[in-house]
Structure 1
């Protein structure tokens, strides 16, 4: 498990490789600056490269506000690297409220054709979707 903190020492991201379920679980929280999103995404890439885990569960339920400002970087820099590292399925649990949902929907429109990405309103359905994928014959 890795944790990332902002300049005030507050944790904004926890990354956990769940080998049993075959996914990387990212729990984002708080108000995310572009720098924080980029720093966290680079950390997630490292875990992806180390584990070669094809599925990701991105949990934004505790995120406050929008992170649209990072979507260009995510689409142009992070996604190609994540795909090269083996990412095939990305379950994204949206933050409550209009800003987080709009950010997630914009990201989905940009990258949705590169790999399987689905948006979820709750963690249970996101986990279920990834578990179904893990059970498919390889």
Structure 2
């Protein structure tokens, strides 16, 4: 892999692999809903001005996942990825059984995306490389139509507003 760093955060490091022409998302740590939301915003931001039809998503370093992360990802982030043009997603599951269950639940909610689950990174890389489209005539992706770009920016702003509001509400909720 020939990786160019796009974003580094406490829970997610995102790279562009120019050799394989895919986005590589490397998640780590304990994913609570606020952590997953903040990291997901950074991930989705990568799609605002560039199209990445293929994604290598690794949860190999994830130590735990909060119960509320899966429904939020499935409802908010993964549909945005489909809208952004992601066609293939190789998902390396977290070693814990719950991590694999989470990934399978998300895969079941995305019938139009080619999403395959893997136990290790090498298998996922091999699958994405085997399924790579023929690039003999060049792999340049056409720019997005202005209407699609505007819709993506609006969707990103909505997601950002939603996450900000939820995190503000969570900070200001008093428990008795």
1:20-69 deviation per Cα after TM superposition (whole angstroms, max 9, x unaligned)? 21111111111111111111122111213332010011111110123441
Q: CA shift at 1:133, angstroms?
A: 2.2
Query: Which structure is larger by alpha-carbon Rg, 1 or 2?
Result: 2
Aligned residue pairs: how many?
131
Matches within 5 A, 1:1-138: 1=5, 2-4=7-9, 11-111=10-110, 113-136=111-134
For residue 11 of structure 2, give the secondary structure of its aligned residue in structure 1: strand
Give the distance between the partners of 2:99 and 2:8, measured in 1 at CA: 21
Q: Normalized against structure 2, the TM-score is what? A: 0.68
Q: Which has the higher strand share?
A: 1
For residue 112 of structure 2, give the secondary structure of its aligned residue in structure 1: coil
My pick for the range that moved more, 63-72 or 96-105, is 63-72
Unaligned 5+ residue runs, structure 1?
5-10
CA contact (8 A) 1:24 1:48 kept: no
RMSD: 1.7
For residue 50 of structure 1, give the secondary structure of its aligned residue in structure 2: coil
CA contact (8 A) 1:12 1:28 kept: yes
Give the distance between the partners of 1:30 and 1:43, measured in 2 at CA: 16
The structure, 1 or 2, with the larger RCO (C-alpha pairs under 8 Å, 6+ apart) is 1
Unaligned 5+ residue runs, structure 2?
140-176
Which portions of structure 1, spanning 4 or more consecutive aligned residues, are displaced by more than 4 angstroms? none
